[in-house]
């Protein structure tokens, strides 16, 4: 029962209590804000596996977020217009079922993570940052210039996709879905960190030579971590697109990558609940400061600068009292 555990519990409790309170007092907008927190936190949990556990500073996670979003947009738009996705060599129809869309989002973003990861992990350090950023930008330009699915304008979906037995148009039920997926991802991330794979990955971050000496390949460990990380962020992208019922190339933009990274850092790198705290703070700031000033990003920038320069453990680090997650 250390302090970090209590901070984490309080965070989760808050994330459940606020939408429930909003449900009782009939404030659907607050529920939507909480849903955004849950979905963005999910994207951050994905990035945190690569960043916190693997030490891979990826500035291109918008690529997976966007692919997840477009997986939803493409499947749902085909289902909406009753046109098949491909006819030959086999027939593939669009779908409006969330679980199928999630599977498609996870598989497609994992595949893309495998390609991007296999190439970018040939390098390390500052090269890796620039290359992931560049590949993210590549997909952004591709999404803009590919006219079949809306191009620059994006794709609108008229009705939110369905989940068997639930009414997804009801904000609290959609929040429930997103929150459950967030919990699953947090559970997976926690298990991963203490699994032999997670320990080896952690070791590869601290001392690649030693990991190599005992017969493990840091490259493979990092690639697997990058794929898992991309897949989770892709799932978050599909949910985010479903929340807005809209996909656009801006999901691929470098700002999205930067923002996902900001959630992780504001919360605390390598902390299991860091992304949850970071996303919650980000959305709260956006809501509060955005109401006061049109230029709230200046304050966000200053806050981020202060956190980076002076509070390196992020919010969880400040609250839990231990400076850094990594010793």
Partner 1 sequence: MTLVLFVEQVLNGLQFGIMLFLMAAGLTLVFGVMGLINLAHGSLYMIGAFAAAAAAGWTGSFLLALIAALGAAAAAGAIVELVVIRRLYDRDHLDQVLATFALILIFSEGTRWAFGSFPLFLDIPDYLSGTITLPGGIEYPLYRLTITLAGLAIAAGLFWLISRTRLGIRIRAGESDREMIAALGVNISRLYTIVFALGAALAGLAGAMVGAIQSVQVGMGEPVLILAFVVIVIGGIGSIKGALIGALMVGLTDTMGKLFLPQLFRLFMDNASATATGSALASMLIYILMAFVLIWRPQGLFGARA
Among 134, 184, 289, 318, binds partner 1 (CB under 8 A): 134
Q: How far apart are CA 109 and CA 251, in angstroms?
A: 13
Task: Using CB under 8 A, count the residues that bind partner 1.
Answer: 44
**Does 124 sit near partner 1 (CB under 8 A)?**
yes
Work out which of 5, 21, 29, 141 binds partner 1, going by CB under 8 A. 141
- Of 256-275, binders to partner 1 (CB under 8 A) are 258, 261-262, 265, 269
| CB-nearer residue toward partner 1: 24 or 126 | 126
What Rg, from alpha-carbon coordinates, does the chain have?
19
Q: For residues 34 and 50, which CB has a smaller minimum distance to partner 1 in the complex?
A: 50
Q: Which is nearer to partner 1, 247 or 269 (CB)?
A: 269
Nearer residue to partner 1 within complex by CB, 171 or 278: 278
Distance between CA atoms of 207 and 195, rounded to whole angstroms? Answer: 18
The verdict on whether omega for the bond into residue 9 sits within 30 degrees of 0, i.e. cis, is no
Binding of residue 59 to partner 1 (CB under 8 A)? yes
Alpha helices in the chain (DSSP H): 3-24, 28-48, 62-81, 98-120, 125-145, 171-194, 196-206, 208-213, 218-244, 254-267, 274-292, 296-310, 314-320
Task: Note whether 122 binds partner 1 by CB under 8 A.
Answer: yes
CB-based contact 181:233 (threshold 8 Å): no
Contact of 204 with 216, CB cutoff 8 Å? yes
| One of 308, 321, 323, 324 touching partner 1 (CB under 8 A) | 308
201 binds partner 1 (CB under 8 A): no
**CA-CA distances (angstroms) from residue 27 to 20, 206, 294?**
10, 47, 24
Q: Judged by CB under 8 A, does residue 302 bind partner 1?
A: yes
Residue from 8, 35, 120, 168 touching partner 1 (CB under 8 A): that is 120
One residue of 190, 297, 311, 322 binding partner 1 per CB under 8 A? 297
Q: What is the DSSP letter of 49?
A: I
In three-state form (DSSP H/G/I as H, E/B as E, the rest C), the secondary structure along 101-115 is HHHHHHHHHHHHHHH
Choice from 64, 70, 135, 252 touching partner 1 (CB under 8 A) = 135
Is 229 within 8 Å of 109 (Cβ atoms)? no
Q: Write down the least CB distance from residue 222 to partner 1, Å.
A: 14
Task: Tell which positions 28-57 bind partner 1, by CB under 8 A.
Answer: 51, 57
Q: Are 63 and 253 in contact (CB under 8 A)?
A: no
Of 79-87, 124-132, 199-207, 277-285: span binding partner 1 (CB under 8 A): 124-132
- Find the shortest distance in angstroms from Cβ 268 to partner 1: 12
Phi/psi at 64 (nearest 5 deg)? -75, -35
For partner 1, the binding residues (CB under 8 A) are 51, 57, 59, 119-120, 122-127, 129-131, 133-135, 137-138, 141-142, 144-148, 254, 258, 261-262, 265, 269, 295-298, 300-302, 304-305, 308-309, 312
């Amino acid at each position: 029962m250390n302090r970090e555990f209590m901070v984490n519990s309080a965070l989760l409790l808050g994330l459940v209590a606020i939408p429930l309170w909003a449900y009782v007092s009939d404030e659907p907008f607050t529920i939507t804000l909480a849903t955004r927190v849950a979905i963005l936190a999910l994207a951050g949990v994905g990035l945190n596996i690569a960043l916190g556990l693997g030490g891979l500073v990826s500035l291109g996670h918008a690529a997976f977020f966007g692919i997840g979003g477009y997986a939803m947009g493409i499947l749902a738009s085909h289902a909406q217009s009753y046109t098949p996705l491909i006819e030959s060599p086999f027939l593939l129809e669009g779908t409006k079922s969330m679980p199928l869309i999630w599977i498609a989002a996870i598989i497609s973003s994992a595949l893309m993570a495998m390609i991007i990861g296999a190439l970018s992990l040939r390098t390390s350090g500052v090269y890796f940052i620039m290359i992931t950023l560049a590949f993210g930008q590549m997909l952004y330009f591709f999404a803009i210039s590919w006219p079949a699915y809306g191009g620059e304008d994006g794709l609108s979906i008229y009705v939110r996709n369905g989940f068997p037995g639930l009414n997804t148009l009801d904000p609290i039920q959609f929040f429930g879905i997103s929150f459950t997926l967030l919990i699953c991802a947090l559970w997976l991330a926690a298990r991963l960190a203490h699994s032999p794979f997670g320990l080896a990955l952690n070791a590869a971050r601290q001392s690649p030579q030693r990991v190599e000496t005992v017969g493990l390949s840091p490259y493979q460990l990092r690639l697997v971590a990058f794929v898992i990380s991309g897949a989770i962020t892709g799932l978050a992208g599909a949910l985010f697109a479903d929340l807005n019922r809209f996909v656009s190339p801006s999901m691929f933009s470098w700002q999205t990558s930067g923002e996902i990274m900001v959630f992780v850092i504001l919360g605390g790198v390598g902390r299991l609940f860091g992304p949850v705290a970071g996303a919650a703070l980000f959305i709260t700031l956006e809501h509060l400061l955005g109401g006061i000033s049109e230029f709230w990003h200046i304050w966000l920038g200053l806050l981020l600068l202060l956190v980076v320069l002076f509070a390196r453990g992020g919010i969880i680090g400040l609250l839990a009292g231990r400076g850094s997650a990594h010793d």
